[in-house]
Structure 1
Amino acid sequence: MSSPFHRIIAQCPLVRSALLAGALLTIGAAPNPPAAAGTDRTTLEALRAADLRLGAIGYRLARANAALCSDLAPVTGMIVHAIDQYDVAEQAVARSIFGFETGIAVEAVVPNSPAARAGVQANDSIIGINGRPVPATAGGGHVVTRDAFAAMLDAQPADRPLAMVLRRAGRERPVIIPASPGCRTLFELRIGPSLDAVADGRLVQISSRFLERFDDSQLAVVVAHELSHNILRHHVRLEAAKVSRGVFRELGRNGRIFRATEDDADRLGVHLLRNAGWDPAAAVAFWQGPGAQIDGGIFHSRTHSSAGKRTENIAAEIAAIPPNAPIPYLPPVLKTRDQPLE
């Protein structure tokens, strides 16, 4: 499901994915075109920093809102990537920077997360999880190994500790990560110049341009909105309602239903932010300021309310939060996720 920003995901040289694992929060850049010439340590370290920044926001939202999610997975705070997510021409550089003593390695770890407290470190390679070896790299595409590892993590119980065997500098060590349930969603960074945010029921994908233009509280507004689509099951509900995603998506019933899902994602996003410790008023400020500039004025898509209307809806949702509401709070909009879209 596309956010109000852009509809086309741009591609550029050097695009690869990483996974914010903990079983599963996944982040990174989506399938690779060929690597840019001259890929070096500075470039890959910049990618690591960007992945960690988005990963920390996704981790915080997914963990704090576990009570709102019907589909849970272990969310440990590890950001994990696979060697074959990198083009063949850059794999030697990637190995020298990230370790990769196996096909799966830890790119970064969210500070103070369960993985960090268990002693997991960036550049650890992963041997196995709960007695099972990590998937072997087998070619077939830049996300095949990543997705196999994601499926493996998904299969682990969210309410139990995660036993891992790691390798670093040729030495293996076991670690136990405490149970860390959170919302089962992959958070992925896509490298490109467009402002684009997408949710498809399993994935939240954010373009790198957002990280360049916005601070963390503003970025959290965008990520929370997209995560809300997944929590509210909008992707599957739109399919069940046979809503057109093509050239007619803005017209008549299609546009009305799309707009309703976007408004509901804005409403739920307020509570995801609040549950995760952000001031939900940041969403009001976002749509009054930078969001209004992105919106496009009279050219905004009819699948989305205008920036002004979104500001109004979000402010009303904040005002409706009961005094002394608990954290986490389960808002009324959550009840819509099992209702058909009409």
Structure 2
Amino acid sequence: MPEFSETPEPQTDTDTGQVADAYRGNWVDTMAPAWSRPYLRLSRADRPIGTWLLLLPCWWGVTLAAASDSPGLHDLWIAVGCAIGALVMRGAGCTWNDITDRKFDAQVERTRSRPLPSGQVSVKQALIWMSFQALVGAAILFTFNWAAIKLGIASLVLVAIYPFAKRFTWWPQVFLGLAFNWGALLAWTAHRGQLEWPAVCLYAAGIAWTLFYDTIYAHQDKEDDAMIGVKSTARLFGENTRRWLRWFMMISVALMALAILLAMTEQANVLKLVIALGGPWAFGWHLVWQMRHLDIDQPENCLRLFRANRNTGLIPVLFFAVALVV
């Protein structure tokens, strides 16, 4: 299993505008022009893990669809377009999240250094930046087929609702999962031209995965969240977190395997099917590894394991890509 290759350090120099939970020495803080840094921080460009977690279900969708069908050059554009789209739409979503949460963020140690609560940008500037990113995302989306375009537009409802979920439900991670895994539906449809059951199962597998990793993430803030009245699955599960994570892991692996079986029912290539099914198997073992290392009372441990999910999500992509070329 992989070792932690990077160790985040607390950032306390608020004069530089650095965000507390970003890696010290990240490219935004060291290479980006000074005027652009607050906007890039709003987009979480200094913390790329969220972009990966939004992108990976897209790559699950397009690689599984191509492996179960006939791959073409257009699939390469779908993969690249989804990468650009994930970058800008994650940025737009995070900007929207920070606009709605700016008062909460000012009361939480980990988030008070973000651009809005720290005064690096105004709400008006943030709204303009969010709109620009959304327009770039729309330009990418409109290169896909109409079925995928409709799905992309529909996802905006979830993006708009998510920041408010923590105020009315103990399960805000469900809303994050609904939004962050939408790309599995969109990318599958961009390849196939229609939404089908394998994509739905893959989407549901991603939602269970999100519940796994974002519950771990939420344990960083559980004490501050309790003080300000913000709800999360971390607070809901408490000491029973491991039992819940085990269920989320099993559900995610089972649904991913079901998606593969449904996608490849017409495949005569048994080797292709076996390789594809290796994806959820290896994916599940990586989640087991995370649980073995988890300490819910150590925020740095939770953050490291949360970030390890980039590798977790890349595992099915690798297996599906190999199955695609067999």
The TM-score, its normalising length taken from structure 1, stands at 0.31
Greater helix fraction, Structure 1 or Structure 2: 2
Structure 2 length-normalised TM: 0.32
Q: Which structure carries more strand by proportion? A: 1
